[in-house]
Amino acid sequence: MANHYQFQVGEIECAALCDGTLPYPASWFFSNAAPQEVESELRARQLPTDHVLAAYTCLLARAGKECILVDTGAGGLAPGTGELPQKLQELGVSPQQVTTVLLTHGHPDHIGGVLDKTGKPAFPNARYIMGRREHEFWTQSPSLDRLALEQFIKDMMLSAVQRNLPPLKSRLELIEGEKEIVPGIRALAAPGHTPGHLALLLSSGKEQLLLFSDAVLHPLHLVHPEWRAAFDLDPETAANTRQKLLDWAAADHVPVQAYHFPFPGHGAILKREKGWEWEPRTSVRRADNVA
């Protein structure tokens, strides 16, 4: 796998950085779908039929003097993860240079790299940003009973929050609704996957990029929008958020960045009679030039 993928959004310099990959049971990604139908769709795409190999792709965006990191990967969650520090180093970016860390939500594969090996913030000069509703959910006796996942997975999710969020307290900025993080980079409320899940919109000149994090987990969720993921805490709200973001990206020809899609998770959303289609792309194009 490539170490990183660099592109421009107008004057904003971007790099997709993969923190590693991890195989998930296919049923976790498509929890309400008939197993034989999932198997057929995966086989048709020449993919393994018993698991989904999910990438953990963070985004580094440099706008003027600002150096923004969106999510921090899984850290040492499992073998094959925890590669973000090395990827940043290969780009010539030190932890001290990161000015803002935006955490889209509190799942372990997004907050796993917020601390260094000593338990201190891994990006010592950065402010950390998270949705207020998201933070309140995870820090006020959260219930994961609605998730159709094994208990050890739920325990891991809770322990990751208990380990990673408290050391950030003094530098954590909680936001509500839509909020400009720095000029040209705006956080958007995208609830459902988690209560305070965030998407992100980058804008510079005529170019845009929509980062939808875990609002869409796999390209098959475009083909089968009725299929749901076991990780969505509120499936109905997640489905509404997913449709809103995908309709927007397709109608306005806004390139997108996806966290768990095959690396680098960069492409376009095309509207079809039923659902949408994923079109991987190797570069961001101007919004008015996208077919």
How large a percentage of the chain has pLDDT more than 90? Answer: 89
The predicted pLDDT at position 77 comes to 83
pLDDT over 60 at 200, yes or no: yes
CATH number at residue 159: 3.60.15.10
Residue 289 has pLDDT above 70, yes or no: no
The total number of structural domains in the chain stands at 1
Domain range for residue 249? 4-289
pLDDT in tens, 33-68: 999 999 999 999 999 999 999 999 999 999 999 999
HEC secondary structure over 215-275 = CCCCCHHHHCCCCCCCCCCCHHHHHHHHHHHHHHHHHCCCCEEECCCCCCCEEEEEECCCC
pLDDT at 258: 97
Question: Would you state the structure tokens that stand for residue 60, as one six-digit string?
Answer: 């580094």
Work out the end-to-end distance of the chain between its first and last CA atoms, rounded to an integer number of angstroms: 28
**CA quadruple 14, 18, 189, 131: dihedral positive or negative?**
negative
Residue range 16-36, pLDDT digits in tens: 999 999 999 999 999 999 999
Section 279-289 average pLDDT: 54
Q: How confident is the model at residue 283 (pLDDT cuts 50, 70, 90)?
A: very low
Model confidence over 64-101: pLDDT tens digits?
Answer: 999 999 999 999 888 888 999 999 999 999 999 999 99
**Both tokens of residue 198?**
């965030």
